[in-house]
Amino acid sequence: KQSGIDPEAEQETFSNGGFEKFIGNAEDTLFGWRVNRSDGRVDIAPDPSVKKEGSRSLKIAFKTFNKRDFYNVTQIVTAQPSTRYHLTFWGRADNLKSGGPPFVEILNSADGKVISATQPFGTGSYDWQQVTVDFTTPEDSEGFGIRTSRVYCGDARPITVSLWYDDFRWTKQ
């Protein structure tokens, strides 16, 4: 808040967890959704036509994306060190085809190391499913980051899918 970049940011809270507010450029936020739209094989945008709650969700459309790493949807959240948390959000997929499906990673904001991760999303098409993961922040942590990643299965195995996220929340355990 003090920087003036994210005036609505709150301690220990997702910013715009339901994607109801505008999502700007990645360099325009510290604690909001950072969406990198630089790869033409991935479209990322709010979607008012498909949503779990509220008036929209976030749609990620992979069009034969075959890179090993995908870190184009991220957010950093302040948190207490050595504390157990429970993360929930909703996901939906349309025609997920890949030997390397996407999943969500939780990272220590102090050093970028992975703390925990969700299970990879299932192949095929399915309506909204709640995704959960429990994790404990390291003792040197002042927060954590979340990001979409994918299981690496070789450059010759692209991913094709429309994937939606909605309603990111977390609680202390």
Query: What is the Cα–Cα distance from 155 to 74, expressed in whole angstroms?
Result: 23
Q: Across-strand partners of 41? A: none
The pLDDT value recorded for residue 37 is 67
CB 173 within 8 A of CB 85: yes
Whole-angstrom distance, CA of residue 112 vs CA of residue 129: 28
Phi, psi of 2 (to 5 degrees): -65, -25
Q: What is the pLDDT of residue 64?
A: 76
User: What Cα–Cα distance (Å) separates residue 20 from each residue in 6, 68, 103, 107, 156?
Assistant: 16, 30, 22, 24, 36
pLDDT of residue 72: 75
Query: What pLDDT, on a 0 to 100 scale, did the predictor assign at position 107?
Result: 94
The pLDDT value given to residue 68? 64
Residues pairing with 65 in the sheet: 159
For β-strands 57-65 and 159-172, DSSP reports them as antiparallel
- What are the backbone angles phi and psi of residue 79, rounded to the nearest 5°? -155, 165
pLDDT of 18 reads 92
- pLDDT computed for residue 118 by the predictor: 96
Q: Which of 98, 102, 97, 10 is nearest to 58 (CA)?
A: 102
> What one-character DSSP code corresponds to residue 48?
S
Residue 97: its H or E element: strand 84-97
Please report the pLDDT score of residue 83 as a whole number. Answer: 94
Q: What is residue 27's three-state secondary structure? A: helix
> Running DSSP on this structure, what letter comes out for residue 139?
T
* pLDDT < 50: residue spans in the chain: none
pLDDT at 9: 64
Residue 3: per-residue pLDDT? 57
